[in-house]
Structure 1
Amino acid sequence: MEERWSTEHVLSLAPDAASQKAAGKLSSPAPWSRAGTDGTAVWGECRGSGSTPYRTVVELATPAYQCSCPSRKFPCKHALGLLLLWTGAPQAVPAAEPADWAADWLRARGERAEKRAAAPADPAAARRRAEKRGARVAAGAAELRLRLADRVRHGLADQSAAGPWEAVAARMVDAQAPGLATRVRTLDTVPSDLLLEEYAMLHLLATAATRLDELPADLAATVRTRVGYPADTAEVLAGPTVRDRWQVLGSRTVQMEGGSDDRLTTRRVWLRGAKTGRPALLLAFGRPGQAPDLALPTGHLLEADLAFHPGARPLRAALGTRYGAPAPGPADPPDGLAVAEAVAGYGTAVADDPWLESWPTVLAGVVPVRTPDGWHLTDGHHTVPVHGPAVPEAALWRLAAVSTGRPLTVFGEYGHQGFAPVTAWSGQDRPIGLTTA
């Protein structure tokens, strides 16, 4: 039988709350006609204010969307409404052959993908570009080392005379090192008692960026990632892959700082292999008005190939071939660690990647408690502070209400500042997402 998505899965694709609300009004059969599905796509015509209905089609694997409406949001309310209809009222979206207009779009999309895959590469040109960028990054990193040394010689107690770091960050952007630029921008907001530590870690990264040829291959790959070298997904997928049944441990969607009309949306999805036990992180990005196209329901299992980005501690992965749709996972919560084991696991990860700020971790048998110092998770022997601006206070109170003093299994990111919870399980109940209020 065809595996249809949950309502939560569909709504997670929406670019904003207004789109979710508007889609709910289009989730009944009334405005739709000629709706159908062939298992790989869903299509239908939605009655609007004009005489011509809007033609909407959704390709399910990516997913990808096409609608004849003039909306600048992506996916639009019609695509979301059609998916809600498909998952909530299957009889209204029967199995059928695609309508001509839907088939034309699906075929054109497939042809474009084939052309991109068949495009010839120019190794010599790619090598020249890489060498040119490497020289610019090395020059920028060397300049950053001098700037950091000057600040230390000037004295950490008085940084006002040195001016803001924004100009240095702009120089790193010019040097094609956006990762260095991002870390430099944060220096103006770092508390004074942590400033020397941040200087040291940034100086270490800048030094490594000037000596990439001398580093072991895995560590050099980590440095390139931290500096901001672009990741070629096609190149990653062309390398070794790991096939497993990947359990979706949780996801978090955040918007970069900026004006309301120009914020980039980033979605992080954490997986763990059912056979290998290996953690993986998938990233997806959405432009303004567009939700990231990757949405996997928490708790489900997805059999697929993953290709891991190279590094000293590989975690980020690219999603390759999928062997079916996500299916409901086990009722029991995932296996987890005690707090002391989580601390040791993070320490091992940091030994491989000294710039690692957190590591995906499942804590077992912990209870949320609120103290004058804030929220904590305790297993009765050790306690870890809850840290993470993406976790709203209301979600933590909900977590406490679910626990009622009983131990929970909680997935999140453990780092040097504490534990940022993402998902919680109470017995065999469905997982509870903690990244939205």
Structure 2
Amino acid sequence: MQDTASVLALAPDEASVKAARGLVAPAKWPLLGADAAAVWGECQGSGSKPYQTQVDLSGPAFRCTCPSRKFPCKHGLALLLLRVADPGRFQPTRPAWVDEWLTSREQKEKKKEEREERKAHAPSAEPASASPREIQRWERIDGAAQELQRWMADQLAQGLGSLGAGSLEGWRTMAARMVDGQAPGLGQRLLEAAERVRQGADWPEQVMRRLGLLQLACDGVQRRASLPEAVQADLREVVGWPVDKDSVVAHGDAVDDTWSVLGVVQEQREPKLIERRVWLHGQQSQRRALLLDHSYGGRGFEQAWEPGSSARATLHFFPGAAGLRARCSESERLGAATWPNATLGQEWDEIARRLAASPWTTMHPLVLRNATLERTATGWRCVVQGQDLPVRTEENFGWQLLATSGGHPVHLAGEWDGEAFFPMSAWRDDQTAPGGSAHPHE
């Protein structure tokens, strides 16, 4: 950076240039230093501590303790502009924080070279049929996953107990970086972990469980070539790589059956985005299925499904070890549902099998036969075969189910997320109860 023009060429926008020029004043910089490898300084801002700004000239690479998301920030630009304008003010004695950063960068660069060396001599993780575009996306996802792993290691080294409302902004920033790295699914799961921080007495356990699954996903991305195809498909879903629905119909496992509609759930995901989950049970195949659709801007869904009804349909299942999500190509409505007759032990065994095959599956269909719904001082619960299961539902829907059952055992179908049961519908052996709800979740 020998002249002003070469420094300004690094600016992300004109606003940064203007802001940097306003900081080119020695009085704002109580510490200035430089040598052949780096430039550093402390810039007094609005807080009590000055911002520590440093530039590795080999990149150039920038680091600053200010909260700006621009790269480089105005402090980094101003530091280089000041060095061009007045190099005599810069002293060669490095502070410890500069040495630590440069040493860290050297170590990371060495590890990167070692990884590249191993990668050059290792078999390709992508099939020979992969397109250049697909290979490029996986390379970006690889980089995002490695960055997320390093970041999570830093968070754990600091300890979850240090987390507060202010520090969670960094979690949101990292989630945004996952989107930039073409791995939006990793970012969404990180935000879900952040939502658990300091929520409930067991929040450290809940956060650690979610971070553990993220770590597992990052490990899987790096060694995906050695994993079965079904698990590779699950990883694509975890990182947020959409599957072409037409290819699912053309090549997915097709199951023709009479399907009972266990329940329908609609949830607002974004201001104009609605997610619909339709849970089905195959009467002959005994297979469970999830139809997952989204509606944006008030548009309706292509197919209508009513809880408690049945339909003759051909479902095409998405690739993946979980074996739940499917797409319906054609259906014919028949009449009332024939409800599953599995025991609670069989239901838990199926969930355990599914989790063993695909640990990232977050929602499972669950049928509870002869369950008693109760309202306690702390919330809802249901008692079934001697087990107490926590229930989460809207108050109105809970009271509707309680009124339907009259306090007696009924059969319930719902979703299980590993922590609580979300009821969708209820019925008795002699009739189908009107237990469906558009928004049964809290």
TM-score, normalised with respect to structure 1: 0.65
* Amino acid across the alignment from 1:418: A
- After superposition, the Cα gap between the structure-2 partners of 1:327 and 1:430, relative to the gap in structure 1 and judged at 3 Å, is farther
Q: Tell me which residue corresponds to 2:34.
A: none
Matched, 1:145 2:135: no
Where 2:212 maps in the other structure, the secondary structure is helix
Q: Quick one: which of 417, 420, 434 aligns to 2:419?
A: 417
Where 2:160 maps in the other structure, the secondary structure is coil
Q: Tell me which residue corresponds to 1:127.
A: 131
Q: Which consecutive residues of structure 1, in runs of 5 or more, have no partner in the other structure?
A: 1-122
Give per-residue Cα distances to partners, 1:53-98, cap 9 Å, x unaligned: xxxxxxxxxxxxxxxxxxxxxxxxxxxxxxxxxxxxxxxxxxxxxx
- Cα distance in structure 2, aligned partners of 1:280 and 1:429: 21
Give per-residue Cα distances to partners, 1:262-311, cap 9 Å, x unaligned: x2111111111111011111112111122333321222222221110111
- Cα distance in structure 2, aligned partners of 1:153 and 1:379: 42
- Cα distance in structure 1, aligned partners of 2:290 and 2:259: 11
Q: Tell me which residue corresponds to 2:236.
A: 224
Q: Which consecutive residues of structure 2, in runs of 5 or more, have no partner in the other structure?
A: 1-126, 198-202
Mapping of 1:55-66 within 5 angstroms?
Answer: none
- After superposition, the Cα gap between the structure-2 partners of 1:303 and 1:176, relative to the gap in structure 1 and judged at 3 Å, is same
- Cα distance in structure 2, aligned partners of 1:274 and 1:302: 10
Q: Tell me which residue corresponds to 1:193.
A: 204
- After superposition, the Cα gap between the structure-2 partners of 1:186 and 1:257, relative to the gap in structure 1 and judged at 3 Å, is same
Q: Tell me which residue corresponds to 1:318.
A: 327
- After superposition, the Cα gap between the structure-2 partners of 1:237 and 1:351, relative to the gap in structure 1 and judged at 3 Å, is same
Are the counterparts in 2 of residues 177 and 229 from structure 1 also a CA contact under 8 Å?
yes
Give 1:430 shift: 4.3
- After superposition, the Cα gap between the structure-2 partners of 1:245 and 1:398, relative to the gap in structure 1 and judged at 3 Å, is same
Q: Tell me which residue corresponds to 2:178.
A: 172
Give per-residue Cα distances to partners, 1:371-413, cap 9 Å, x unaligned: 22321111242221113xxx31111111111111222111111
Q: Tell me which residue corresponds to 1:383.
A: 388
Are the counterparts in 1 of residues 256 and 312 from structure 2 also a CA contact under 8 Å?
yes
Q: Tell me which residue corresponds to 1:366.
A: 371
Are the counterparts in 2 of residues 338 and 379 from structure 1 also a CA contact under 8 Å?
no
Give 1:188 shift: 2.5
Give per-residue Cα distances to partners, 1:198-249, cap 9 Å, x unaligned: 2212111112122211211111111111111111111111113111111211
Mapping of 1:138-287 within 5 angstroms?
Answer: 138-160=142-164, 163-191=169-197, 192-194=203-205, 195-239=207-251, 240-258=253-271, 263-287=272-296
Give 1:435 shift: 4.3
Where 2:300 maps in the other structure, the secondary structure is coil
Are the counterparts in 1 of residues 190 and 211 from structure 2 also a CA contact under 8 Å?
no
* Amino acid across the alignment from 1:253: Q
Q: Tell me which residue corresponds to 1:432.
A: 435
Total equivalences in the alignment: 304
Quick check: which has more Rg, 1 or 2?
Answer: 2
Where 1:231 maps in the other structure, the secondary structure is coil
Are the counterparts in 1 of residues 367 and 412 from structure 2 also a CA contact under 8 Å?
yes
Are the counterparts in 2 of residues 342 and 414 from structure 1 also a CA contact under 8 Å?
no
What is the root-mean-square deviation in Å for CA atoms of aligned residues? Answer: 2.2
TM-score, normalised with respect to structure 2: 0.65
* Amino acid across the alignment from 1:148: M
Give 1:142 shift: 0.9
Give 1:144 shift: 0.5
Q: Tell me which residue corresponds to 1:100.
A: none
Are the counterparts in 2 of residues 346 and 358 from structure 1 also a CA contact under 8 Å?
no
Q: Tell me which residue corresponds to 1:60.
A: none
Where 1:405 maps in the other structure, the secondary structure is coil
- After superposition, the Cα gap between the structure-2 partners of 1:284 and 1:198, relative to the gap in structure 1 and judged at 3 Å, is closer
Where 1:289 maps in the other structure, the secondary structure is coil
